Structure 1
Amino acid sequence: MKKKYENESLINEFIKYPQVRLLDNLGKQLGIYSSEEAIHIATNQGLDLVVISNKSNPPVCKIVDYGKYKFSQEKKAKEAKKKQHNATVKEVKMRYKIEHHDYKVRLNQALKFLQSGDKVKTTVTFRGREVQHINLAIQLLNKMATDLNEISTVQQIPTKDGKNITMILAPSKK
């Protein structure tokens, strides 16, 4: 298995540095060797020489079983990707004539979304001539913003969008 692998790290004969800092398969530092000597030591053990870090001087190389090393690196990358949370925009819709209990339900929905790290787009929709009551809708959205001000910040103030008024809340970074 004498090849360069995908992540631009080098393995065995592709290592062209004059000297490398060598680590054994347990991570113990063996010292500084020429690349040829390090490759020879690795092949005598039936293992591969892999560049772990080329940022230092001399670059750090480790004697490992390449297949196992590659598998563990892919596993670490998968775990890191799992732990990342991409903030999505969740929407909470209501009417400007919303009842108190229904408002509380929408408030709790928005609270749950914000606590999980998502942004919340709150939308007040109008039908027909209700569009005359924009000021009541803006008051409702401002009330929601003040009710949630401990865990969120207003990213976009209430703005008219056709027959809707929308506001975007983002989780605050505390």
Structure 2
Amino acid sequence: MRVLTNPHFFYLDQQDRIPLWRWHIISREHQINDEIRAREVRLVGADGEQIGIKSIRDALQLATDANLDLVNVAPTAKPPVCRIMDYGKFRYEQQKKEKEARKNQKIVDLKEVWFRANIEEHDYQVKLRNVLKFLNEGDKVKASVRFRGREITHASIGQKILERLSKEVAEICNVERAPKLEGRSMIMILAPKTNS
């Protein structure tokens, strides 16, 4: 018999011919069947009925008789809780639920709109439309007034611009953070109202 020296070709089981490197790639979050190291477990049947505390050997035998897997669902409990189930089907349904949850999840972005202290009326209206569009799409808006040079001495002008903006969009949003001066900018954050 020839022994291969390359570790990538060692096999865990000569009958199944599962390469060792493939075995380490597969990772599970639950212990199943022979991986469970407890002496006794609290056993839950395939239909969800409580069977009681059994030795690991008896629990494995019940799972084998039902042609299902023994899965450790609560390893930190005393004794660990194991359930008889089809592990492949369980993982498939779990992945399906996770995918559905990700699909229904709404990611809220923070959009920023800059104003100047000496902004003209038409420019203000354009920026206001952008703020309304972002809020209607469900995103938060960071409205900031940037001061250049000596404009910083008249911070009250920036305060008036942001207060005017918050009054004009008050129907569809809440002020999450009131106008506050940070460095050479005055910042206010608006969040859309929830429909609950």
- Structures share fold, TM-score greater than 0.5: yes
Uncovered stretches (5+) of structure 2, i.e. residues with no partner: 1-15, 17-23
- Kept after mapping to 1: 8 A contact 2:135/2:191: no
Give the aligned partner of residue 51 of structure 2: 31
Give the aligned partner of residue 67 of structure 1: 88
* Inter-partner Cα distance in structure 2 for 1:78 and 1:56: 29
Give the aligned partner of residue 11 of structure 2: none
Give the aligned partner of residue 91 of structure 1: 112
- 2:130 equivalent to 1:106: yes
1:123 maps to amino acid: S
**Residue from 138, 153, 157 that aligns with 2:175:** 153
Uncovered stretches (5+) of structure 1, i.e. residues with no partner: none
Indicate the percent of aligned positions where both proteins have the same amino acid: 31
Aligned ranges for residues 7-22 of structure 1 at < 5 Å?
Answer: 7=29, 9-17=30-38, 18-22=40-44
Which protein shows a greater Rg? 2
Q: CA RMSD in A?
A: 3.5
Query: Structure 2 length normalisation: TM-score?
Result: 0.64
Aligned length: 167
* 1:51 CA drift (Å): 1.9
**Can you list the C-alpha shifts for 1:115-150, whole angstroms capped at 9, x where unaligned?**
x2x331112346777666543222010122233445
Which structure's relative contact order is higher, taking Cα pairs within 8 Å and 6+ residues apart? 1
- 2:72 equivalent to 1:51: yes
* 1:38 CA drift (Å): 1.6
* Inter-partner Cα distance in structure 1 for 2:120 and 2:61: 79
